[in-house]
């Protein structure tokens, strides 16, 4: 998780920021989804640097980055509507014999070559 037990169970100020308590840490873990991502080496090194400088875990840097991006690109009305499969088209097969359909498909394939 990136937080030591001693740090997670203490409550105090560090560089003007409140340190999480174990109670709030337990509440936040229950609603998180574990995922795996791939980062280019230079970006990963920058993430490591930020985590080290801020005394955060790499996961915390990624969460904060994702939160910043979602604030920069808020959901639009059209993006929140669910996509639905359109109704099937009403079509009629004009060839009733399978052999005739095969011959037409072969003729199309030959024409495209």
Residue 113 resides in a domain: no
| This prediction's pTM | 0.44
Is the same domain home to 28 and 43?
no
Residue of 8, 6, 31 whose CA lies nearest to 18: 8
| Cα(39)–Cα(50) distance, integer angstroms | 15
Is the same domain home to 43 and 24?
no
Domain count, the chain: 2
Convert the pLDDT of each residue in 4-15 to its tens digit. 444 444 445 455
Convert the pLDDT of each residue in 35-82 to its tens digit. 999 999 999 999 999 999 999 999 999 999 999 999 998 887 666 577
Is the same domain home to 17 and 3?
yes
Residue 7 resides in a domain: yes
| Chain centroid, CA 37 distance in Å | 9
The boundaries of the domain holding residue 66 are: 38-75
């Amino acid at each position: 998780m990136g937080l030591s037990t001693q740090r997670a169970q203490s409550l105090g100020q560090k560089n003007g920021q409140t340190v999480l308590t174990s109670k709030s840490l337990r509440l936040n873990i229950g609603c998180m989804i574990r995922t795996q991502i791939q980062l280019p080496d230079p970006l990963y090194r920058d993430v490591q640097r930020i985590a080290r400088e801020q005394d955060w875990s790499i996961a915390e840097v990624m969460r904060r980055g994702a939160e910043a991006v979602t604030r920069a690109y808020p959901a639009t009305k059209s993006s929140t509507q669910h996509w639905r499969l359109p109704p099937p088209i009403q079509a009629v097969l004009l060839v009733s014999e399978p052999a005739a359909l095969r011959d037409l498909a072969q003729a199309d394939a030959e024409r495209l070559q």
